[in-house]
């Protein structure tokens, strides 16, 4: 089992290091995992904590203003999902871009295709 956990860590590091691809939010929901059609229902699922410290992403810092009450809601929602505020806002942007370009991926800028299709 330790080897499986180590291998999972290595796969994530190789897949996302230096990538613009968004790292999916963690989940402990087996129904969400089954919805991904990762296996034919005969696999064994194991949840593994992945340390993302060794994964470098090419992120750009931005600064903007939000109402304090809205920021508190963002922080609460991010905390409930066990992700950072930045990750939550990134997922919100990706969601909005995906709905904007739904069915039009050929006209979507490449940098946005990476996040949506990733």
Residue 117 DSSP SS3: helix
pLDDT at 65: 93
- φ/ψ (deg, to 5) at 42: -110, 0
Handedness of CA 105, 29, 18, 15 (dihedral sign): negative
Residue 111 — very low, low, confident or very high, per pLDDT cuts 50/70/90? very low
Decide which of 13, 30, 58 is a domain's last residue: 58
What's the number of CA atoms in the CB half-sphere (13 Å) around residue 98? 12
Task: Kindly state whether residues 115 and 70 are assigned to the same domain.
Answer: yes
**Mean pLDDT calculated for residue range 48-60:** 72
Task: Kindly state whether residues 38 and 71 are assigned to the same domain.
Answer: no
Q: Looking at the predicted structure, is the pLDDT value of residue 94 above 60?
A: yes
Task: Kindly state whether residues 67 and 51 are assigned to the same domain.
Answer: no
Task: Kindly state whether residues 51 and 102 are assigned to the same domain.
Answer: no
Angle, nearest 10°, between helix axes 68-80 and 85-100? Answer: 100
């Amino acid at each position: 089992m330790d080897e499986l956990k180590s291998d999972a860590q290595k796969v994530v590091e190789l897949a996302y290091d230096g990538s613009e691809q968004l790292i999916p939010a963690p989940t402990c929901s087996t129904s969400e995992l089954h919805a991904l059609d990762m296996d034919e229902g005969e696999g064994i699922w194991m949840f593994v904590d992945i340390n993302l410290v060794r994964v470098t992403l090419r992120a750009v810092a931005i600064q903007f203003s939000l109402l304090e009450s809205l920021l508190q809601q963002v922080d609460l929602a991010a905390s409930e999902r066990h992700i950072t505020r930045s990750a939550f806002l990134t997922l919100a942007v990706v969601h909005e871009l995906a709905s904007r370009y739904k069915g039009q991926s050929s006209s979507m800028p490449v940098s946005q295709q990476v996040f949506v299709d990733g």
